[in-house]
Amino acid sequence: MTGTGSQDLPWTLPLTRAHRRAYNLIPVRQPHTESADLEIVHVTPSAVATLRGVLARPVLATGVLFGTRAGGHLTVQAVHIAHPGSTEPFYVDDAYLLGLADAWGQAQRGSDWVGGWVATPLDGPVAPGALDALVRQATAAGLIDYDIPLLVAGWIDGDLTLQAFKLGVGSQPFPVTIGRPVP
């Protein structure tokens, strides 16, 4: 090889968000790295089924989201806990996250770690102060930023509710749809 540019390499490793976090190569939190602001979050039926299962347990649970992003549209394909056995909210084991990111990148081309989630098992809306505290905790843990949302799942009158929040927008949720994403 004669140059120092990446064009000289026969292949390059994907630099996913999880890799940037685990290896501290590039700051994970970069204001507005996406070409378009986040407008809507789509959650696939399989991800919804996982959230319903998590909500069946009477404890607060948190984790990471995997999916794809195209412009202002984010599609959540999978919901995972960030570390099996951890009871600490928003705890992320970087080695476990890397394994998930590599697996999802292989299974679904273009899939990456796209956010964090929290499931609040109590029936009823989350109080605004408690919601702000959850967003602050997720931000401090590096799970959300200006482009990466926190998905809040809960029950209201026995119906599943999903709300998405990101850093810099305050308490205003983003629209969330369930089912197949709109192109």
- Per-position DSSP letters for 105-153, written without gaps between them: HHHSTT-EEEEEEEEEEEESPPPHHHHHHHHHHHHHTTS--SSS-EEEE
SS3 for 23? Answer: helix
Q: How far is Cα 11 from Cα 97, in angstroms, rounded to an integer?
A: 23
What is the pLDDT tens value at each position of the chain, 183 positions in all?
Answer: 444 554 554 555 567 788 777 777 755 544 445 557 888 999 999 999 999 999 998 888 999 999 999 888 999 999 998 777 777 889 988 888 889 988 888 888 888 899 999 999 888 888 888 888 998 899 888 888 888 899 999 998 889 999 999 877 556 788 899 986 555
Which amino acid appears at position 42 of this protein? H
3-class SS at 102?
A: helix
One-letter amino acid identity for 52?
R
- Identity of residue 40: I
Q: What is the per-residue pLDDT for 1?
A: 44
The residue whose two tokens read 């602050």 is 136
Query: In the chain, what are the domains?
Result: 14-24+35-178 (3.40.140.10)
Q: What angle do CA 105, 143, 84 make, to 5 degrees?
A: 70
Q: What is the pLDDT of residue 62?
A: 93
* 22: CB partners within 8 A, 6+ apart: 94, 95, 97, 98
Kindly report the length of the chain: 183
3-state secondary structure 45-56: HHHHHHHHHHHC
- Phi/psi region, residue 128 (left: phi>0; alpha: psi -120 to 50; beta: rest), is alpha
How far is CA 9 from its chain centroid? 31
